Homo-oligomer: A and B are copies of this chain.
Amino acid sequence: MALTQTQTDEIQALRSQTQPTYRDISEGLEEVLYQAFPVLDHGFVRVIDYMGNDSAIVQAARVSYGKGTKKRTEDRGLIQYLLRHSHTTPFEMCEIKFHVKLPIFVARQWIRHRTANVNEYSARYSILDKEFYIPSANHLAVQSSTNRQGRGETLSPEYSHYVMDLLREDADRSYSHYEELLNEDAEGNSVDPQKDCLARELARMNLSLNFYTQWYWKINLHNLMHFLALRADAHAQYEIRVYAEIMLDLLERWVPFTHEAFIQYRKEGVHFSKNGLSALKKLLRGDKITQDESGMSKREWQEFSETLDLPL
């Protein structure tokens, strides 16, 4: 992450003074508001604004005239109850707004979560900076042989350097051609007045998918948890998972009771099918059961065994 001095100053200015508000606040989030948390080689996540906290969930669940809160232990219990029973609407009453800088191929995965609001930096309107993602050696890995959409072992050090160099050279060349085609300096004047300036909306097509874009992204707490459940998961691509993990930490700062319940009931919870439940009951009664008898497919049976640490 390389914030310019101007950007750092702007962020500093926002953190230099508070204003009084009648709204409820989240102390944990106030501490880091506007700050850029680095992700990958040039990316970041910043919280720009938020609405609500753990109390707001309780308040909404009770359709309350005042704070909604009774005792802190009761609030915690209610939040756990709501999440355990998928009573999701009170969580929709909290909202958070992020500023994220991320590679375009990550942005393409991210945007598939439709229940959020987005303002993206426009390469039709403005010029993209020369910033692209090059994976570090320990994240360059071979195609997984067992999972069509996953990675296996990391590359050898030598080969990974070869790959990094190749990616870097291609991105460098793309960008210099992009600049050549734009033929524009920072003030919007032609670099070479004898040459045409290709329209920005056309020139951008020469950039590769590892270039960085950025956006404002706003989402409610319920939908954020859905995003995190999918993207902070071990099956998510590493390059989006690192963003989700930072956001999971920010979730803990923002709504600690909700974060706790989310880990307990969603992130670290497990789901069993009808057949899985039958098999479980048999095993708990001390009976034996084979994959065949279980009605599960081979793959489901394997997942079942692994989830339960069973030597099946």
Residue in B closest to A240 when the chains form the complex, CB atoms = B201
Q: By the criterion of a CB under 8 Å from any partner CB, how many residues of chain A are at the interface?
A: 137
Q: How far is the CA of A200 from the CA of B237 in the complex (A)?
A: 11
**Copies per assembly:** 4
**A146 at interface by CB-CB < 8 Å:** no
Q: Do B22 and A105 have beta carbons less than 8 Å apart?
A: no
Q: Do A207 and B208 have beta carbons less than 8 Å apart?
A: yes
Which residues in A have some Cβ–Cβ distance to B below 8 Å?
A: 3, 6-7, 9-11, 13-15, 18-25, 30, 33-34, 48-52, 56, 59-61, 63-67, 77, 80-81, 84, 86, 89-90, 92-93, 95, 97, 99, 103-105, 107-108, 111-112, 114-115, 117-122, 124-125, 133, 135, 140-144, 148-152, 155-156, 159, 163, 166-167, 170-171, 173-174, 177, 180-182, 184, 195-202, 204-210, 214-216, 218, 220, 230, 237, 263-265, 267-277, 280-281, 283-284, 297, 299-300, 307-310
Main secondary structure of the interface of A (DSSP, over half): mixed
Q: Which residues of B contact A33 (CB under 8 A)?
A: 22-23
Q: Do A199 and B297 have beta carbons less than 8 Å apart?
A: no
